[in-house]
Amino acid sequence: MPNLRYLLCLLIGLQAMCSVAQWSDDFSDGNFTVDPEWFGDVDDFIVNADMQLQLNASAAKTSALFSSVSFPDSVRWSGYALYDFAPSANNNGAIYLALDMPDVTLANGYLLRFGENGSDDAINFNRVDMGVETTLAVGTLGSLGGDPAEFIFKVTKDAGDNWICTMSFNDGPFSTQFSVFDNTHDMSSLTYFGIESKVTSSNTAKVFFDDLLIEEDLPDVTPPVLTDVRVLFPTVVGLTFDEAMDTESIKDVNNYVVNPGSISPDLVVFSPDNPGYANLSFEPGLPFSTALTLTVSGVTDIAGNSMNTTEVLFLIPEEPVEGDLKLSEILFDPYIDMEDFVEIVNVTDKVLSLANVYLENVTKPEEEEPFDTDLLLLPGQYLAISDDTTGMFSRYAYPDTANFLLREIPSFNNADGNVTLGVFRDGVKVPFESFDYEEDLHLELIDDTEGVSLERISYAIDAVEVDNWYSASEGVNFASPGYANSNAVVFGEAPDDFVYLPNTTFSPNGDSDGDQLEILFNLDKPGYLCTVQIFDTRGQLKRILSNNRLLSSEDFLLWDGTLDDGSIGNLGIYILFVKVFHSDGDVKTKKVVCVLADYLD
């Protein structure tokens, strides 16, 4: 049973404690012929195994059911509906809230209608006069334009003939769709409630209704609730309430304070046509990447009920620029029961929005879309992105702090390919980083690289440098999705020397634990050329590790214990002679000692 129905059942249960429903049908009795009785196109409907009213038409047609109701002057309708397709001009629906006769071609009354071509489909509130419909209000555009169209509706008409509709779409929060005045038809003259579905042949069993309730609208004594706070722009914060709000109190800027700084909005934008929404405008804007607290007090609903003072935490994220987000890890040859993944990391102290971020494989031109998500990446956070995160959960151990995003990513060849990270800016791709991976970059000692990821060693070194990637450690089952890499080189507080070894002992035995010697550089400026020669204790040159390699000011080299002839060096002590020189004449040299501590089995 859909989650939306559970929410509605709870709503109905709470309402039932304070009022007696005048008319209801949750179809739990397995029929729609008694208590209450429906009539009309009864052969086109069934009550299914989930105890829902379901369309079951034999062909493409318009099918409708009606039931007799005695409406009070103040009345509330609510219910659940699922049109399991994208509504269109040929596949649509109507909920007849109140009519004076079941013949809709001649009737007077009020209804909800939806279904039109395009993606802007919304709920329409219509009045019908002798069979002719007039639209009185239109809800949020696009709210019913997707596949499926699933919603809970709540419509209220008070004694002053004010009509208000709130709806929840696809298990989302309730939002006000319209608020309008109309007193054309007296409720005492209206005696029928109904539903209608117009479908083509492919949708004859794809319409569902449940938990339909019509009751007297008792006086509102419940305080309003702030249900959502959303950053729309750096200067605009949108508020959503669970009911229609009083214009005067909602527009008073003194009723809102943002801390730190005791900042009140310069303007509150509020329209009686959307009485459950308000936009707070701040100029020149609130601070980015800062934990903010919004305190709302003194606001009331249209019945005069004061909302309890409410505090909500939020922040203003920043759109990433080049250097903020880095490629961190890629699995391009997954186990047969899982999918590829790409990991990115926020290397700044900013809170970054991922709404416009994209991933691409430039060797396989595919139409890539931005992430289009509300997900934020906090400072230092990693994020693993995959078509199937379940496979990662089952194959790899991960801490509670690991982060995952389930979404489509580019396809990657097992042998070689590319991963590019960037953002869409004004609809144009702006690439940040790109890495051309190859299967041969894996540790040679790993016979089967299936399920083994390539991890980035340092974010201070460009992603294009193939030496900056290494097979994930066996200690993490050969991948570390969503958290810090097992082979990361961390440039901590460096000694005064321009070159140093964080660990002087290493063991290239294939266990991915200290398999390589890290040689770290801490230079006063970029542009040095580096030569590293490795000697044994007898002074014999065994390996030229680097010959005039260009270094950045913070850089590294790795030695996996192999010699120039391709063999693994013998157990013992080795001396590294390191020389760097700059085009401006600066030359630095140093000898450092390391220990190859374990033979390779």
The first and second tokens of residue 29, run together, are 């009795």
What is the reported pLDDT for 137? 93
- 598 has a pLDDT exceeding 80: no
Helix (H, G, I), strand (E, B) or coil at 534: strand
What is the reported pLDDT for 11? 41
> Quick one: pLDDT band at residue 7, thresholds 50, 70, 90?
very low
What is the reported pLDDT for 493? 61
What is the arrangement of strands in the sheet containing 226-233, beginning at the earlier edge strand? 226-233, 236-241, 277-281, 267-269
Which domains, from first to last, does the chain contain? 3-216 (2.60.120.200), 226-314 (2.60.40.1220), 325-476 (2.60.40.1260), 499-596 (2.60.40.4070)
The first and second tokens of residue 331, run together, are 């699995």
Residue 74 or 490, more confident: 74
Measured CA to CA, the distance from residue 274 to residue 466 in angstroms comes to 55
Q: What is the pLDDT of residues 533-543, one digit of tens each?
A: 999 999 999 99
> Among 207, 224, 220, which residue's Cα sits nearest to residue 80?
207
Go through the chain and tell me how many residues it has.
601
- 600 has a pLDDT exceeding 60: no
The residues, ordered by sequence, that sit 6+ positions from 334 with a Cβ below 8 Å of its Cβ are: 340, 341, 391, 450, 451
What is the reported pLDDT for 443? 77
Instruction: Please give the single-letter amino acid code of residue 6.
Output: Y
Q: What is the mean pLDDT of residues 437-451?
A: 85
Measured CA to CA, the distance from residue 124 to residue 132 in angstroms comes to 15
Beta bridge partners of 455: 329, 470
What is the reported pLDDT for 580? 94
Q: What is the mean pLDDT of residues 168-176?
A: 84
Q: What is the pLDDT of residues 189-247, one digit of tens each?
A: 999 999 999 999 999 999 999 999 999 987 788 899 999 999 988 899 999 998 889 99
> Quick one: pLDDT band at residue 4, thresholds 50, 70, 90?
very low
pLDDT, averaged across the chain: 89
What is the reported pLDDT for 403? 93
Beta bridge partners of 458: none
Residue 514 or 237, more confident: 237
Please report, rounded to a whole number, the percentage of residues in the chain having pLDDT higher than 70.
Answer: 94
What is the reported pLDDT for 115? 87
Q: How many helices (H) and strands (E) does the chain have?
A: 3, 41
- 12 has a pLDDT exceeding 50: no
Which phi and psi angles does 4 have, rounded to 5°? -55, -35
What is the reported pLDDT for 566? 84
Q: What is the pLDDT of residues 350-404, one digit of tens each?
A: 999 999 999 999 988 777 788 877 789 999 999 999 999 888 888 888 888 899 9
- 1 has a pLDDT exceeding 70: no
- 334 has a pLDDT exceeding 70: yes
Q: What is the mean pLDDT of residues 302-317?
A: 93
Q: What is the mean pLDDT of residues 429-440?
A: 94
Which string of DSSP letters, residue by residue, matches 20-38? --SEEE--TTS-SSSSS--
What is the reported pLDDT for 46? 95
First to last CA, the chain: 58
What is the reported pLDDT for 554? 81
- 446 has a pLDDT exceeding 60: yes
Q: Which residue in this structure is represented by tokens 């009045």? A: 127
Which string of DSSP letters, residue by residue, matches 237-287? EEEEESS-B-HHHHT-GGGEEEETTTBPPSEEE--TTSTTEEEEE-SS-PP
CA torsion sign for 199, 201, 206, 212 is positive
Which of 22-36, 71-85, 470-484, 569-583 has the least mean pLDDT?
A: 470-484
What is the reported pLDDT for 244? 86
- 599 has a pLDDT exceeding 70: no
Which phi and psi angles does 305 have, rounded to 5°? -75, 130
Helix (H, G, I), strand (E, B) or coil at 150: strand
Show the beta-strand stretches assigned E in 354-415.
357-360, 376-377, 382-386, 404-406
> Among 160, 93, 154, 98, which residue's Cα sits nearest to residue 128?
98
Q: What is the mean pLDDT of residues 469-496?
A: 80
